[in-house]
Structure 1
Amino acid sequence: MLRKQLKKWAVLATLLTASSAYAERITITDVLDREVTFEAPAQRVIVGFYPEDYMAIGTEAAYDKVVGMSKYIWQARSANWEMYLEHRPSLDDIPGIGRVDTKTFSVEKVISMNPDLLMLADWQYKGLGSDIERLENAGVKIAVVDFNAQTVERHVKSTQIIGAITGQQERANTIANEYAQNVKLITDRLAEANLPQPKIYTEYGAADIDEIGYTFGKNMWGAIATTAGGDNISAPFIEWWGKLNPEQILASNPDVIVITGYETGTTDSSMVMGQGVKESLAKTRLEGFKERTGWSSLSAVQNNRMYAAYHGACRTILDGAMIQFYAKAMYPELFADLNPEEAYKDFYQKYLPVMPEGTFVTEL
């Protein structure tokens, strides 16, 4: 099935490359099956989400054409944002357009920027509701991409779309193919081994250890866990993201637990991961989650199968390394040859102008 999909995506990649090798009017189909016609490469772009992906796929030069951006998602990864600012201070000069989720997104500001194209995440497009019609009536072209779904198909298609927007189709093809092949390596090996599925629980550990954080159902880390061969205990109770009842976690008794975090947390016990975070601190914070009420009875705690990952490395074309991480955490012998942290940094070395230093995956 995956082999057929790879062939289909290869055809899409060829069509995109052939249709937009030079600046010309092209029509693409976005992830919502909407046809969008615009001049490519686009000269005035607003990046609504996935700002680091836009640079990785479109190259740093793509930001010469970015006239607006929803900046909060990048600035939430404060140390990562500062790393990029040190390299390219002009990023700070790009005007912000507000946030869809907090209802601060400014339709008027977007229209005033006179963009050739507004790139939105699937959830942003749907969250804007009637404002989409206002934008389109004003002549704003909108292309929808989606890395949140964590499917190979949407990751590949979104990568190809960004390649078309930026005129970097060949680069996009390479990145998309590498992602698909990485997933294929893992799923093929799992299929051949046919091992029992371990139960896995993932939690965004931004709050105090005494407060259960968000977990994930069929997207983001939940989809990564499933792709990597796990039985996601949150899936029957959480569709997208939300909090599990503490008693349900105990009843499900996961074999593996992954706690995710950003560079900063809200308390002294929050999980911290990412740029500038020392592994010793990350391990200390992860160790603290063992002390939760009732968790001493969990198989994952008793067998010390507790892991941590950088929350900023999810819902992105960079997250192929995180699929490797989950696969190795659940099947350490089957995937002993994989080095997820090295894979994560290799992507930066190949496709981005900066090299992060810190802790992006760890375990007890």
Structure 2
Amino acid sequence: MLRAMIATLVLMALDPAMTFAEEQSSAQAPITVTDIAGRQVTVNAPVKRILLGEGRQLYLIASLETEDPLARIVAWRNDLIEADPATYAQYLQAFPRLATLPAFVGKENGLIDIESTIVQKPDVVLLNLEAMSANEDVKYIEKLAELKIPVLYIDFRHYPLKNTEPTIRLLGKIMGRENRAEEIIAFRHQAMARVTDVLARVEPQRPRVFVERIGGYADDCCLSFGAENFGKYVELAGGHNIGSDLLPSTFGQLNPEQVIAADPEQVVVTSADWEAYVPGGKWIPLGPGADPKVTRKKLEWFTTRSAYTGIAAQKTRNFHGIWHQFYNSPYEFIAVQQLAKWFHPDLFADLDPDATFAEYHRRFLPIPYRPGYAVSLSDSAN
């Protein structure tokens, strides 16, 4: 016993960063947590081997584990590579071994290959809430449970304003980063309050807003959001989301006649660099480092869509493009700030969403901030 204590003290002398607390925190012990689906799940924490059921879950993992976000990830789905290539390039430059991280293909609401999962021996598998139905059909959770591999459901997409912060707390708990999780949540509250407090005080008239979802990804018109996700962001930013009146769920589609009849005063197009999915498409390559001349030119095309013929926004050029991944990340407070600035430029003249996102990067992410997440044709935004 004495010899072991002396050995530990020698190691601490050689590495001052090592502490008894760190030794203790690295030791795993079973804890029971409640995931976003309301399931009680026991995991060995802090988890050391995480399998990401969606690559974009890295946005949060990196916020909680900034020094080396790959330290605990054993495999991931390849969607970040294809859906957000600019961010992937940033992480690849900072962490070159990302290129060798085992990756698998699949859809947002689909299954993960169970054999590949078993090979990685994860402490936990993180799945999106919308994959729950498919997993129940094939007893995926039960099969992994027999091998003592727990699954947790998280959500940034369907009810982000309700589920993002519980998701942050859940991952903070299983990773042993609870204090860090609370710091992120406090930052989010402060950023959101810079919009909601002003609107509560002033109560301005709300412009009618149509959000075109995944603009340029498909030729169909007009995909949009109901009362959740970007639909909720619009309301928090002081607008009235047209989709909330007509769509019963988070995601849906209106016909062009419905859009024209609603006569939106503002049109917001969510888009991104989707060259991997739609080579040479009408999408707007928004994201870190996007060229504003290119994004503005591509946004111009949307003003010519037949669904917008004669609407108020076409006459005033209140057309805006915003990074689609705000719909599926812990960064939606940036989208709310940006929308508020477009809808109420006088009220939010001093609000700078770029500065807010840059500060978040400095405090919580291992990559530098690069602007390029939004573009606008309106004179007030310029």
Q: TM-score range by the shorter chain?
A: 0.7 to 0.9
Partner of 1:230: 239
Aligned partner of 1:182: which letter?
Answer: A
Distance 1:246 1:38, change over 3 A: same
CA–CA distance in 2 between the matches of 1:283 and 1:337? 23
Q: In the alignment, is the contact (CA less than 8 A) between 1:101 and 1:127 conserved in 2?
A: no
1:49-60 aligned at under 5 Å gives the runs 49=54, 50-60=57-67
Cα deviation, residue 264, structure 1: 3.8
Q: In the alignment, is the contact (CA less than 8 A) between 1:212 and 1:243 conserved in 2?
A: yes
Aligned partner of 2:126: which letter?
Answer: M
Cα deviation, residue 35, structure 1: 1.6
Q: In the alignment, is the contact (CA less than 8 A) between 1:152 and 1:180 conserved in 2?
A: no
Aligned partner of 1:93: which letter?
Answer: T
Aligned partner of 2:272: which letter?
Answer: Y
Q: In the alignment, is the contact (CA less than 8 A) between 1:58 and 1:167 conserved in 2?
A: no
SS of the residue corresponding to residue 314 of structure 1 reads helix
Alignment gaps of 5+ in structure 2: 1-23, 378-382
CA–CA distance in 1 between the matches of 2:103 and 2:274? 23
Partner of 1:164: 173
Q: How many aligned positions are there?
A: 345
1:101-116 aligned at under 5 Å gives the runs 101=108, 103=110, 105-116=112-123
Q: Deviation string for 1:72-121 (max 9, x for gaps)?
A: 23432112212211111111222124324475620121122221111112
CA–CA distance in 2 between the matches of 1:336 and 1:35? 46
Partner of 2:125: 118
Q: Deviation string for 1:285-314 (max 9, x for gaps)?
A: 111211122524111111121111111233
CA–CA distance in 1 between the matches of 2:217 and 2:36? 37
SS of the residue corresponding to residue 152 of structure 2 reads strand
Cα deviation, residue 279, structure 1: 0.4
CA–CA distance in 2 between the matches of 1:74 and 1:150? 24
Partner of 1:217: 226
TM-score (structure 1 length as normaliser): 0.87
TM-score (structure 2 length as normaliser): 0.83
Distance 1:122 1:104, change over 3 A: closer
Distance 1:209 1:304, change over 3 A: farther
Given candidates 36, 47, 61, the residue that maps to 1:31 is: 36
Cα deviation, residue 361, structure 1: 1.1
Aligned partner of 1:301: which letter?
Answer: Q
Partner of 1:243: 253
Partner of 2:157: 148
CA–CA distance in 1 between the matches of 2:338 and 2:133? 31
Q: Does 1:192 align with 2:197?
A: no
Alignment RMSD: 2.3
Distance 1:185 1:215, change over 3 A: same
Partner of 2:14: none
Q: Does 1:83 align with 2:104?
A: no
Partner of 2:268: 258
Cα deviation, residue 174, structure 1: 0.4
SS of the residue corresponding to residue 337 of structure 1 reads coil
Answer with 1 or 2: which has the greater Rg: 2
Given candidates 303, 323, 326, the residue that maps to 1:310 is: 323
CA–CA distance in 2 between the matches of 1:103 and 1:36? 21
SS of the residue corresponding to residue 219 of structure 1 reads coil
Aligned partner of 1:204: which letter?
Answer: R
Give identity over the alignment, percent: 25
Cα deviation, residue 258, structure 1: 0.7
Partner of 1:14: none
SS of the residue corresponding to residue 106 of structure 2 reads coil
Distance 1:104 1:326, change over 3 A: same
CA–CA distance in 1 between the matches of 2:70 and 2:228? 28
CA–CA distance in 2 between the matches of 1:110 and 1:141? 11
Given candidates 43, 50, 65, the residue that maps to 2:48 is: 43
1:206-355 aligned at under 5 Å gives the runs 206-207=215-216, 211-238=220-247, 239-265=249-275, 266=278, 267=280, 269-293=282-306, 295-355=308-368
Cα deviation, residue 22, structure 1: 6.3
Cα deviation, residue 210, structure 1: 6.2
SS of the residue corresponding to residue 119 of structure 1 reads strand
Q: Deviation string for 1:324-343 (max 9, x for gaps)?
A: 01111112222222111222
Distance 1:137 1:98, change over 3 A: farther
Distance 1:210 1:134, change over 3 A: closer
SS of the residue corresponding to residue 331 of structure 2 reads helix
Cα deviation, residue 254, structure 1: 0.8
